[in-house]
């Protein structure tokens, strides 16, 4: 197993820990969070550094994933993703073994697919995305960079979710449309 750092220690981090433990591809060596949280534990994993330590940690660890969530803004997720790329980290995809991802789907770097998500043939999930629990992404959907598709959302066939978009819990889209911005929980996008 390859060693991996988790960047961000909030609620989303806990969800990603659960997936990584089930996926059994990576060994979590620690979490990077705020300086004042160093030595605290999250689900048994220590906070071993802050953002200022990332370049030094790269000397020992080559893999990392952004585990900061996204509700009001994705600014921090994007900043951390770019910082990790600039340093040289490898940013693998993390996919729950409880999710279904078609072999005809592309999931790009540092994207996370959580439990019971379903991603059908021809879909593409770009970089640094969160595909949350019980999301349905239908055929030929494109989820552009830095998006969060929240719990239980349904993205119907051929839809393009533009870069930096947040789709709230239980939101549903019509097929073959383009959406961007902040789509509220439960909202139907026509």
Q: Is the pLDDT of residue 84 over 90?
A: yes
Cα(30)–Cα(49) distance, rounded to whole angstroms?
8
Report the topology of domain 2-92: Rossmann fold (3.40.50)
Model pTM? 0.94
Burial code of 74-103, b = ≥16 C-beta within 10 A, e = fewer? Answer: beebbebbebbbeeebebbbbbbeebebee
Q: Could you give the residue range(s) of every CATH 3.40.50.20 domain in the chain?
A: 2-92
Q: Which residue in 65, 71, 88 sits closest to 19, CA to CA?
A: 65
pLDDT grade, residue 181 (50/70/90)?
confident
Q: Residue 182: its pLDDT value, please?
A: 78
Q: C-alpha dihedral over 25, 120, 12, 167, to 10 degrees?
A: 160
Determine contact, residues 27/6, Cβ cutoff 8 Å.
no
Tokens 């349904």 map to which residue?
154
Q: Is the pLDDT of residue 187 over 90?
A: no
Q: Which residue in 38, 13, 88 sits closest to 58, CA to CA?
A: 88
Q: Residue 40: its pLDDT value, please?
A: 96
Q: Is the pLDDT of residue 184 over 90?
A: no
Q: Could you give the residue range(s) of every CATH 2.160.10.10 domain in the chain?
A: 93-180
- Average pLDDT of span 91-100: 98
Burial class (CB in 10 A: 0-12, 13-18, 19+), 141: buried
Q: Residue 70: its pLDDT value, please?
A: 83
Q: Superfamily assignment of 93-180 in CATH?
A: Hexapeptide repeat proteins (2.160.10.10)
Average pLDDT, the chain: 95
Q: Is the pLDDT of residue 189 over 70?
A: no
Length of the chain: 190
Q: Residue 190: its pLDDT value, please?
A: 56
Q: Residue 183: its pLDDT value, please?
A: 78
- Average pLDDT of span 38-44: 96
pLDDT in tens, 104-134: 999 999 999 999 999 999 999 999 999 999 9
Residues paired with 28 in a beta bridge: 4
Q: Which of 40-44, 127-131, 180-184 has the lowest mean pLDDT?
A: 180-184
Question: What whole-number percentage of the chain has pLDDT above 90?
Answer: 93
């Amino acid at each position: 197993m390859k060693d991996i750092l988790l960047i961000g220690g909030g609620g989303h981090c806990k969800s990603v820990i659960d997936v990584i433990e089930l996926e059994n591809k990576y060994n979590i060596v620690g979490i990077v969070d705020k300086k004042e949280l160093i030595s605290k534990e999250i689900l048994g994993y220590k906070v071993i550094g802050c953002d200022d330590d990332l370049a030094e940690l790269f000397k020992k660890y080559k893999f990392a994933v952004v585990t900061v969530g996204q509700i009001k803004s994705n600014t921090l997720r994007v900043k951390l993703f770019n910082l990790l790329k600039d340093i040289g980290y490898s940013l693998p995809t993390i996919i729950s073994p409880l999710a279904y991802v078609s072999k005809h789907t592309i999931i790009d770097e540092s994207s996370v697919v959580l439990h019971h998500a379903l991603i059908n043939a021809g879909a593409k999930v770009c970089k640094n995305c969160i595909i949350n629990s019980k999301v349905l992404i239908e055929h030929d959907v494109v989820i552009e960079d830095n998006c969060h598709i929240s719990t239980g959302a349904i993205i119907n066939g051929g839809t393009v979710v533009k870069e930096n978009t947040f789709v709230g819990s239980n939101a549903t889209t019509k097929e073959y449309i383009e959406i961007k911005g902040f789509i509220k929980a439960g909202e139907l996008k026509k």
